[in-house]
Amino acid sequence: MSEQTSADAREGLGDQSKPSRWKWARWEAFAFLELAALCGMAVIQPVLDVLGRSPDFFIFHGAGTAEVLVLVAAVTILPIVVLWAIGLPTRLAGQRARLVTHTLLLGVLAALLAVQVGKEITPLRGIPLICVAVLAAAALVAGYLRYTVPRQILRVAAIGPVVFVTLFVFVSASSAVIAPTGQKSAVTAAAASDRQRPPIVVLIFDELPLVSLLNERGEIDADRVPNFARLAAGSTWYRNATAVSGTTTYAVPAMLTGRYPKERPEAPHFSRFPDNLFTLLGGEYHIQAWENVTRLCPPQRCRGLPGAPRGGLSTMLRESATLLTRVASPWESLEDVTASFQEPTLADAIAKGDRDPDVGPEFRMNRLGENQPARFTEFLDALGRDDGPTLRFLHLLIPHSPWLYLPSGVRYEGVPTALPYDGQWWARLAYQRHMQQVGYTDRLLGEALRALEETGLYDESLIVVTSDHGDSFSEGVSGRALDDDQRAAAELAWVPLFIKAPGQREGRVDDRNWEHVDLLPTIADHVGVTVPWRVDGISALGEPRRTTAKRFDRAPGDTVTIDGAKHFAVVRQGPAARPVLSEIPELALTGRAVTEFAVRDGGPPATVTNLADFRDVRPDSGALPALVHGTLPNTVRPGTPVAIALNGRIGAVVLAVPDQVGTIRFVGLVPDESLFVPGANQLELFEILPGNRELRRMPLVQ
């Protein structure tokens, strides 16, 4: 230890042979402040910054003010106290041990901070970034030990956590969840009208492009999605309907307020959007609203809604810890950022003892009931006749990723970490999994229609079925970002929209220029209610727009105009035009028996992550290991076609491709449930040799 360090230690701790309690306490107080300063910059600020910009995180988990504040306290206080407590016992070993421990803790925090700064200002990732961060931390620690000024700066900077918490609670977008304040709704509780209002059912699926429902003729594909086709045959299909944003937290408020997204981000909360469908109809309608990433229905309107909020404090704490690991990681995150929005299944709820297995509708085809999202089951359970008009609203995060369902409702587990979304193979795989979940979505819609018909609500209700936005799966433009060339517009902006008026029995197609801000005024017109605030949308019962242009808000304040006529023409071509995917000739081998090929040994070894799942398959459980995934040696050429065979038949053909960190991976979905048998299943992997006539067996390891 240097002379300066020793001097500083004596200054703070006193003579080691005659320790002064006051000097020890003073030194520990300074140590606590220094840890607080670096914790504030390396841990507290990045976590609160993300959470502050994500009010939907709290809304989705049903968090109230108390739970949010407890989470903030845990994020703010716990890391500082834990780190301080780690070093405190070393005081028993003497002054030098205590100072060394404290310095090491400061060095770790400085390295974490350097990693985050490095990810922002340099292209470095992985080991190079770690090396740079360690060097930066070493330099900071050396300055801390040698000079007085850095220590003084740290102690003053200990005010940082207080500032970050204050900004989060009072300034951030999430402040709406903590202290719901804002302008009051212009709507007052309307007196009951002599006119009999029809029941209303609004079902919003999430991340469902219209093109995913179409065949090559631009019609609803009755073979693939028969229930959507059945709905279209008895309702008005607004074929030219578009979302106003690719982000749920902007799209859904626009739908329910009739107004385009604001220029600045706002929490999707009733205190920020007091004029909405629920406050408009709340004076005359009973409201049952299952919202997910929004909370637009005020408590006084939705009091008594069946079902408990999902998640809770423990889940939010766990996901906040995961968030910190992503932020502090020197590698690009492979975590699926949508994982926190995964719907709980009925099977999950049963496992937790939250529901009786016998509760719910009787439609357990292939034990489908065990794989229903619990919120959808609650929605169906609540259907029934009421004494007065009722608005039933469900926003279901299906077919939104993560994609975990086959069309039958059978569930499969995803990969341990999220996959790249774009590229020759990844875009195709994402599209395949999406389409399987679209099939499951169609089954859910069919059960909703069946339940409405059985209760007598179908004929007399105003029924709206739509999606908040689409998604792009075309290679090169995958995801929900509309680029400047608008190459993804046909998949991202155009959404299914079906409105069945009370008593309507015949279907019709309306190609007017519909934008989702038209939803609220159209519902109001159908039920005879006047909207007392200014809206940007127009009712579909009135004259159509004279322009074909479409407004789309990529983000608040980032508005673009879509050429409606051009992209609508692409939409009507269906899958013939979108998505655009690379040709992979080997895919044609799917479904063929292995015995049809010449098979030889000597292929590269394949590590199958979920190999153990094939030793005891139980199809009647409602789950199958349909997603096969693992890694290959780096000697395997990227783009090598690999056949995944199950019980002697090729169930999928995949490409060996690098992920975001360069690991050669293979991931393939085997959607044909008939290939699985109860008990042990024979899984085989083969390298497909040129000519597609020979297979080279790949030894499997776990």
What type of residue sits at position 206?
Answer: D
For residue 612, how many other CB atoms are within 10 A of its CB? Answer: 10
What type of residue sits at position 593?
Answer: A
Give the pLDDT mean for 572-585: 91
Sign of CA dihedral 38, 41, 47, 51: positive
The angle that helices 21-39 and 65-87 make with each other, rounded to 10 degrees, is 130
Q: What is the pLDDT of residue 184?
A: 59
Give the pLDDT mean for 426-442: 96
Q: What is the pLDDT of residue 349?
A: 47
Between 356 and 574, residue with greater pLDDT: 574
Q: How far is CA 661 from CA 126, 330, 664, in A?
A: 9, 11, 9
Statement: residue 118 has pLDDT above 70 = yes
Give the pLDDT mean for 26-43: 93
What percent of the chain is modeled with pLDDT above 70?
A: 88
Statement: residue 361 has pLDDT above 50 = no
Alpha-carbon distance 527 to 701, whole Å? Answer: 62
Statement: residue 49 has pLDDT above 60 = yes
Statement: residue 686 has pLDDT above 70 = yes
Q: 636 near 310, Cβ under 8 Å?
A: no
Q: What is the pLDDT of residues 459-471, one digit of tens each?
A: 999 999 999 999 9
State phi, psi for 632 to the nearest 5 degrees.
Answer: -125, 160
Alpha-carbon distance 244 to 354, whole Å? Answer: 37
Q: What is the pLDDT of residues 476-529, one digit of tens each?
A: 888 877 887 899 999 999 999 999 999 999 999 999 999 999 999 999 999 999
For residue 312, how many other CB atoms are within 10 A of its CB? Answer: 13
- Beta strands per DSSP E along 511-549: 514-515
Give the pLDDT mean for 576-600: 94
Q: How far is CA 218 from CA 212, 404, 633, in A?
A: 10, 27, 44
Q: 700 near 606, Cβ under 8 Å?
A: yes
Q: How far is CA 176 from CA 28, 268, 311, 323, 674, in A?
A: 38, 9, 19, 21, 50
Give the pLDDT mean for 289-298: 89
DSSP conformational letter for 609: T
Q: What is the pLDDT of residue 16?
A: 44
Q: What is the pLDDT of residues 618-666, one digit of tens each?
A: 998 889 999 999 999 999 999 999 999 999 999 999 999 998 778 899 9
Region label for 671, one of left (φ > 0), alpha (ψ between -120 and 50) or beta (otherwise): alpha
Token pair 């109230």 is found at 64
Q: What is the pLDDT of residue 581?
A: 93
Give the pLDDT mean for 380-404: 87
Structure tokens that stand for 98 in this block? 């205590």
Q: What is the pLDDT of residue 340?
A: 47
Q: Confidence class of residue 13 from pLDDT cuts 50, 70 and 90? A: very low
Q: How far is CA 397 from CA 231, 293, 343, 374, 400, in A?
A: 20, 9, 7, 11, 5
DSSP conformational letter for 327: H
Alpha-carbon distance 90 to 96, whole Å? Answer: 9
Alpha-carbon distance 624 to 645, whole Å? Answer: 15
Q: What is the pLDDT of residue 603?
A: 94
Q: Confidence class of residue 314 from pLDDT cuts 50, 70 and 90? A: confident
Rounded to two decimals, what is the model's pTM? 0.82
Minimum mean pLDDT among 300-304, 374-378, 541-545, 588-592: which range? 300-304
Q: What is the pLDDT of residues 317-359, one digit of tens each?
A: 888 888 888 888 888 654 444 444 445 554 444 444 443 333 2
Q: What is the pLDDT of residues 200-217, one digit of tens each?
A: 999 999 999 999 999 999
Closest by Cα among 283, 311, 305, 453 to 379 = 305
Q: What is the pLDDT of residue 188?
A: 46
Structure tokens that stand for 495 in this block? 């959404």
Statement: residue 296 has pLDDT above 60 = yes
Alpha-carbon distance 90 to 95, whole Å? Answer: 8
Q: 117 near 45, Cβ under 8 Å?
A: no
Q: 238 near 510, Cβ under 8 Å?
A: yes
Q: What is the pLDDT of residue 201?
A: 96
Q: 391 near 289, Cβ under 8 Å?
A: yes
Closest by Cα among 490, 693, 682, 684 to 574 = 490
Structure tokens that stand for 629 in this block? 């995934």
Q: 702 near 607, Cβ under 8 Å?
A: yes
Q: What is the pLDDT of residues 164-223, one digit of tens each?
A: 999 999 988 888 888 766 555 555 444 445 468 999 999 999 999 999 999 999 999 999
Between 295 and 497, residue with greater pLDDT: 497
Given the DSSP bridges, would you call strands 497-500 and 462-467 parallel, antiparallel or unpaired? antiparallel
Sign of CA dihedral 557, 560, 561, 562: negative
Structure tokens that stand for 322 in this block? 């995961």
Q: What is the pLDDT of residue 303?
A: 56
- What is the CA 434 to chain-centroid distance, rounded? 14
For residue 171, how many other CB atoms are within 10 A of its CB? Answer: 10
